[in-house]
């Protein structure tokens, strides 16, 4: 079992192609690509934490369909664009506005929004967030896990940490 993170998929939201300059001609192509990349990356027994803004759809059937198409045990960290139909959908293993995890001895803080300070920040805790679509200058040990940052696919903590080290910013 592997743990993955992602955020800001914004399925069914054609505005995201223009606003975020996503390289897809249509929302149908966008959604198909994100679903394919998710399923190429995540296995059925993996845990995946989606840090909010899943879909623009407010239709129960569409949200159920989306969650059924995506592999893994899905955990939702609620985002500002997640309507009650997304939050209450049956495909989630867990739903919360905030969560703390321990992975390989590292404390991980999960929230849709980026923090400027967070629990155990001074003790090395890592802040994973979405919301900013790769546009926010991040603080030390703070990482945007949104699809706009990671080739429109979920990523592991090791991939997240290696990316920032590769830029020489950690």
Question: For residues 164 and 135, what is the distance between their CA atoms, to the nearest angstrom?
Answer: 15
Do 140 and 125 contact (CB within 8 A), yes or no? no
Cα Rg for the chain, rounded, in angstroms? Answer: 15
What tokens appear for 48 in the block?
Answer: 């995946």
* From 4-8, 53-57, 76-80, 127-131, the region with the lowest mean pLDDT: 53-57
Domain interval for residue 33: 3-166
Confidence class of residue 169 from pLDDT cuts 50, 70 and 90?
very low
Pair type for strands 126-129 and 106-111: parallel
User: With the CA atoms of 139, 145, 151 and 156 taken in that order, what torsion angle do they form, in degrees rounded to the nearest 10?
Assistant: 110
Dump pLDDT digits (tens) for 143-160. 999 999 999 999 999 999
Is residue 168 over pLDDT 50?
A: no
Compute φ and ψ for 15, nearest 5 degrees.
-60, -30
pLDDT value at residue 167: 52
**Six-digit token pair at 98?**
């905030």
pLDDT for position 7: 98
User: What percent of the residues of the chain are helix, what percent strand, and what percent coil, each to the nearest 5?
Assistant: 30, 25, 50
pLDDT in tens, 95-144: 999 999 999 999 999 999 999 999 999 999 999 999 999 898 878 999 99
What's the CATH code of the domain at 122? Answer: 3.60.21.10
Number of domains in the chain: 1
Q: How far apart are alpha carbons 152 and 56 in whole angstroms?
A: 17
Region 51-57 average pLDDT: 94
């Amino acid at each position: 079992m592997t743990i993955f993170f992602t955020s800001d998929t914004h399925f069914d939201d054609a505005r995201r192609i223009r606003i975020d300059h996503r390289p897809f001609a249509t929302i149908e192509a966008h959604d198909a690509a994100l679903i394919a990349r998710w399923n190429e990356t995540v296995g059925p027994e993996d845990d995946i934490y989606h840090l909010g803004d899943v879909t623009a759809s407010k239709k129960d059937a569409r949200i159920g369909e989306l969650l059924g198409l995506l592999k893994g045990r899905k955990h939702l960290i609620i985002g500002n664009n997640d309507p009650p139909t997304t939050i209450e959908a049956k495909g989630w293993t867990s739903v919360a506005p905030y969560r703390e995890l321990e992975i390989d001895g590292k404390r991980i803080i999960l929230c849709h929004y980026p923090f400027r300070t967070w629990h155990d920040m001074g003790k090395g805790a890592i802040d994973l967030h979405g919301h900013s679509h790769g546009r926010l200058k991040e603080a030390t040990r703070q990482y945007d896990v949104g699809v706009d940052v990671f080739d429109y696919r979920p990523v592991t903590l090791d991939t997240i940490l290696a990316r920032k080290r590769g830029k020489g910013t950690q």
